[in-house]
């Protein structure tokens, strides 16, 4: 209860202080001569946001990069070790496997998420508005669940008990109904099957998000373009692939990239389900292990830097594409 009040106090105080700062800045610039005011005003209002982004995003990122070349002792003192952290990370016997896993997450999760979201959005668009609302709510629901809660649910789905015992796991129950023997799913490494089982969870979580955005995009496709297609004799699939899809492409791409970045950073699902055992480890989980469990700050930061390096091109592409699209409008 005390914690709750402290939290409430902090929120209220935070808002009040922010309001006060803006009021004060506004008050001060109105005292300035008109010309100076015009120049200063935008920066004054952008300033605090820039400061916060700098403080909580840019500064920690720079710190991470710096620390990736350091060895940090428990008391916080650091020594320069050059590229040693990166060399250590790459020399790990799991490194190659981890990179393959990350690449698989990137290659599989976004494309399936967008495809499934798109399919649901398009199909839901055709069932009548009442049913559409219900269906969309159901598909969106997983989105509201945190990764770790989702992992708990899916642990039950993938649970395993040896033959002769009650099966709690949904997947094994179905599998045995089909005549199979109970399987310890997470231990099946053939074709990276266990990794794919983990990816299913992220797809389940984010397909609803993709659906909502794509559904909105589909609805904003001008009716007359579809009408024109119909008049020219296009069938349903032609209308979808040749008329609707090109018009919602920018949204699809934005969703794709958001999910892609999410898949690159995936960590909680792996930690909660397999803990990286049976060759399911990923880059972000290595960071967690090295930093929190082993206390190797430098090596953990090296993993972060690799992740940043992998994400930057994707973000550059996203920003560029967005600009091009804006310019074309």
Partner 1 sequence: MKKFSIASLAVAALAATVAIVPSANAADEVTIYGGFGGDQAKGFQAELDAFGAANGIKITYTTLASYDTDIRVKVKAGQAPNIGMWPQPGGLLEYSSVLEPIDGLKSVDLAGIKKTLVPGWAGLATKGGKTYGLPVSANVKSLVWYNPAAFKAAGLSVPKTDADMTKLTNTIKSKKLGYPWCIGIESGGATGWAATDWMEEYVLRYGGEAQYTAWWKGKLAWSSPTVQKAAKKFAEIALTPGNVNGGGKAIAATGFGATANLFATGSNKCFMMRQGSFITDFFPDAIKAAYKANDFTNVGVFKLPAPAGTTDAVLGGGDLAAAFDDKAATQKVLNFILSDKLGQGAMLSNYPSYLSAHKTFPSAGYKNPITKNIAGILASAKLFGFDGSDLAPAVVNATEWKELTNWISGKKTQKQAFDAIDASWNKA
Binding site for partner 1 (CB under 8 A): 6, 9-10, 12-14, 16-17, 19-20, 23, 27, 73-76, 88, 93, 160-165, 184, 186-187, 189, 271-272, 275-278, 289, 292-296
- Least spacing, CB of residue 14 vs partner 1, in Å: 8
Q: 239 is written with which tokens?
A: 């209308």
- Least spacing, CB of residue 2 vs partner 1, in Å: 11
CB crowding 277-297: b at 16 or more within 10 Å, else e: eeebbbbbbbbbbbbeeeebb
Angle between helices 129-140 and 193-219 in degrees, nearest 10: 140
Q: What is the largest CA-CA distance in the chain?
A: 85
Q: Which backbone phi and psi does 151 adopt, to 5 degrees?
A: -60, -40
- Nearer of residues 4 and 328 to partner 1, judged by Cβ: 4
The continuous run of DSSP H or E covering 78 comes out as strand 78-80
- Least spacing, CB of residue 311 vs partner 1, in Å: 24
- Nearer of residues 37 and 155 to partner 1, judged by Cβ: 155
- Least spacing, CB of residue 167 vs partner 1, in Å: 12
- Nearer of residues 12 and 107 to partner 1, judged by Cβ: 12
- Nearer of residues 23 and 45 to partner 1, judged by Cβ: 23
List all residues 6 or more positions away from 198 whose beta carbon is below 8 Å from its beta carbon: 269, 270, 273, 274, 280
List all residues 6 or more positions away from 160 whose beta carbon is below 8 Å from its beta carbon: 167, 169, 172, 182, 183, 184, 185
- Least spacing, CB of residue 272 vs partner 1, in Å: 6
- Nearer of residues 243 and 272 to partner 1, judged by Cβ: 272
- Nearer of residues 5 and 235 to partner 1, judged by Cβ: 5
Angstrom distance (rounded) from CA 223 to CA 241? 15
Give the CA count within 13 Å in the CB-facing half-sphere of 198.
Answer: 32
- Least spacing, CB of residue 276 vs partner 1, in Å: 7
């Amino acid at each position: 209860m005390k914690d709750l009040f402290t939290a409430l106090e902090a929120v209220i105080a935070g808002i009040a202080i922010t309001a006060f700062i803006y009021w004060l800045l506004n008050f001060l610039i109105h005292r300035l001569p008109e010309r100076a005011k015009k120049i200063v005003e935008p920066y004054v209002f952008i300033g605090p946001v820039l400061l916060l982004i700098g403080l909580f995003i840019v500064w920690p990122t720079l710190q991470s990069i710096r620390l990736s070349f350091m060895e940090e002792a428990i008391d916080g003192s650091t020594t320069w070790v050059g590229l040693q952290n990166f060399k250590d990370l790459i020399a790990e016997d799991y490194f190659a496997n981890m990179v393959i896993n990350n690449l698989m997450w990137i290659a599989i999760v976004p494309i399936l998420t967008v495809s499934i979201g798109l399919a649901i959005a398009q199909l839901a668009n055709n069932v009548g508005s009442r049913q559409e609302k219900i269906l969309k709510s159901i598909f969106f629901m997983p989105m509201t669940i945190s990764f770790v809660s989702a992992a708990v649910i899916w642990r039950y789905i993938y649970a395993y008990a040896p033959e002769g015992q009650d099966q709690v796991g949904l997947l094994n129950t179905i599998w045995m109904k089909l005549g199979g023997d109970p399987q310890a799913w997470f231990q099946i490494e053939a074709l990276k099957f266990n990794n794919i089982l983990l990816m299913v969870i992220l797809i389940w979580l984010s397909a609803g998000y993709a659906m909502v955005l794509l559904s909105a995009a589909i609805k904003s496709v001008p009716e007359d373009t579809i009408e024109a297609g119909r008049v020219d004799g296009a069938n349903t699939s032609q209308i979808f692939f040749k008329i609707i899809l090109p018009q919602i492409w920018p949204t699809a791409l934005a969703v794709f990239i958001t999910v892609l970045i999410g898949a690159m950073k995936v960590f909680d699902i792996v930690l909660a389900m397999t803990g990286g055992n049976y060759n399911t480890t990923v880059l972000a989980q290595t960071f967690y292990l090295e930093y929190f469990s082993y206390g190797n700050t430098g090596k953990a930061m090296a993993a972060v830097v690799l992740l940043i390096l992998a994400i930057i091109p994707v973000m550059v592409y996203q920003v560029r594409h967005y600009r091009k699209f804006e310019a074309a409008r």
